[in-house]
Structure 1
Amino acid sequence: MKKKMITFGGVIAAVLFALLAVHHFYTREVDTSKEPDTSKKEPAEYLHITATAYNNGQNDDDGISLVLYLYSIRDQTMSEIARFPIDPDYPVAFADLHDNKVYFSDSNPGEDFDNLRTPKVREVTFIRPKTLYLMDLDFGNYQPIYHTDQFEIRLTRQLDANRILMTWDPFMGASKPRTLRMLYLDTQKVEDFDVPGIKEVKSFYPRDNAEGIFILGRDLNNTYGLFYYDLVTKQVSNLFEKYPLPKNHRSLVDFVYSMN
């Protein structure tokens, strides 16, 4: 049975429950008939990119809209597949291309949550011990594979059978730009993993073939964008360089890598 690598931590669980308490998840029917054909036998890779846009083209005065872009890695094409008004909190979205549905989050106006970053919490939980577990897809038969209390593990993705990439902080609430580290399971060795030209990593996904990594973050010019790092050629490219964002663009929020 295939396994997924999952991190556990009491504070993380509390944050997730807080998010679920104030965020509501919805679905909408969308027309994806003009999108790349997903019925082919070989799985195709996609990026589901969540962004926001100003409704009036300039500021938040008239509200914002969630925008979902779909990027075909095989065809190297970008298209907007959904746009609808939301409350400006933390939107996420994902497209089910087979059933023509978009799943997205929204929150009621005025609702908020404690993000557990008060001075008292930072003082008490300077570094929270982290354990990585390898777990079956049915959430059973899990086993610990790595533990540390030397730094904060923020996000983990498995590159291949022996290597795990992670974003990290030296301690909770650190102001240093978040970067990547590589964990080798066979030796338990952890080392910095530098991506040329990238100074900060917010989120990332390795490709299924382990030949590259998609990174949402900032480059050395402080430009925030979605980048691709080719592990074979060691080259970095900006996905939106060929697909300029519209004038009413507000922000890139997050993205998801999928195979359909």
Structure 2
Amino acid sequence: MRETFFYSGTYEDIIQTLGRWRILDLRSLLNKVEYQFSYQAFAKMVSKLERLNYVGSIYYQGYRKYLYLTEKGLKEAGLEKSWPINKDVLLHDLICVNVFSYLLGLGRFDSGGLNLEEAGATTRPDCMLECGKSKLAVEIELTQKASNRIEEKFLKYLRSEEFERVLYVFQKPPVFKAYKKRMDELDENRNPLLKKRFQDKAILLLEPEIKNNTFSLMQSPCFFQGKLTNFKEVLDSAGIFAQS
């Protein structure tokens, strides 16, 4: 027998929250929905949405369950054109959500969002944050890319008038070093008429612990404007949005 269901109230909050945050574990979802009753009652509501195919789930590292919207759920949330969860790149999406949540929680930015629109677009930031009229793009780079792809994205941001800075976040030192090397090469060979260097536009940050649920970026090594520093110093110097 087909089950008829018209969602509202907390059910709608669950769908809209997953629409905004893309992928969350059950406890994080409960906290963001601000559900006032028991964890068990909330879990039953989520299970009902799973059974009706609004919500999908996957276990990461074999024990923690993560929830996301299916195509049906995305449609109900008004996100038909968004990027659906790809289980092959689950780690990237999880890290993206965690890094965005961490940065937004620092109190240094007014607002921001995960980039859920423009499915099929060739280039787009994983997320962005705003402070006043300035925007910071954030790119999560977990794997090595071909040199021409690195250059293509660097050029995109160098020419961008929408984003004042781009923060690249790396988990692995070899990937961080490869991007830094390519950026150094591009700056050395840039057109002398071009005032801005790539290293004035991009902040490269390395933090191996971003694969975990809890981490801090404040002491993470950063390369910015020709020197190695840490993320706290970049923030405290207003380097993210200060004009070059």
**TMscore range, shorter length:** under 0.3
Larger strand percent: 1
Larger helix percent: 2
Q: TM-score, normalised to structure 2's length?
A: 0.26
